[in-house]
């Protein structure tokens, strides 16, 4: 059993097979840097719980010998439900997946963000992510002229 402690002090016990899905933790374990409780200072408890939930589900899906292993279709459906998150949680999970070096989770979350902005105008993207337009009308016109290909 491996114990992780989030930035807000919440602890999580997980099997080693799940812990090694978090590459940062795996590296610490291999380098013998892992103590009895491994601190995860950049990740809050509620986000670490979601990360662990994802890793457990994906470990279970790869255990083909196990009679309760998920099919690829079931896993994709589970992933689709998993990413139905509010924006703040989505971005916190992206930061956690990046910090903990969980490529499959990072890819899933980044694809979710890409899908959110696909086909949207710059104005729509600013509205989705609450980004203030700090260009003057003249600067924006110049950028649109220089990058006309992006607006076609």
pLDDT tens per residue, range 56-84: 888 877 665 555 566 778 888 889 999 99
Which residues are bridge partners to 14 per DSSP? 2
Mean pLDDT value across residues 19-37: 79
The DSSP output letter for 120 is: -
pLDDT at residue 63, as a whole number? 63
**In contact, 6 and 48? CB cutoff 8 Å:** yes
Confidence of residue 49 (pLDDT cuts 50, 70, 90): very high
Let me know how long the chain is: 152
pLDDT at residue 44, as a whole number? 95
Tokens of 19: 């812990």
- Residue 59, Cβ neighbours under 10 Å: how many? 17
């Amino acid at each position: 059993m491996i114990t992780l402690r989030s930035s807000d002090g919440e602890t999580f016990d997980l099997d080693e097979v799940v812990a090694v899905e978090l590459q940062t933790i795996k590296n610490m374990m291999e380098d013998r840097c892992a103590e009895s409780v491994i601190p995860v200072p950049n990740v809050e408890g509620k986000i670490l719980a979601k990360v662990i939930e994802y890793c457990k589900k994906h470990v279970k899906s790869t255990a083909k010998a196990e009679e309760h292993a998920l099919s690829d279709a079931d896993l994709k459906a589970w992933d689709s439900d998993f990413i139905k998150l509010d924006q703040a949680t989505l971005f916190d999970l992206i930061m956690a997946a990046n910090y903990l070096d969980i490529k499959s989770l990072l890819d899933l979350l980044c694809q979710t963000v890409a899908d959110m902005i696909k086909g949207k105008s710059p104005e729509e993207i600013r509205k989705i992510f609450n980004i203030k337009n700090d260009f003057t009308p003249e600067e924006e016109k110049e950028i649109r002229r220089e990058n006309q290909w992006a607006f076609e």
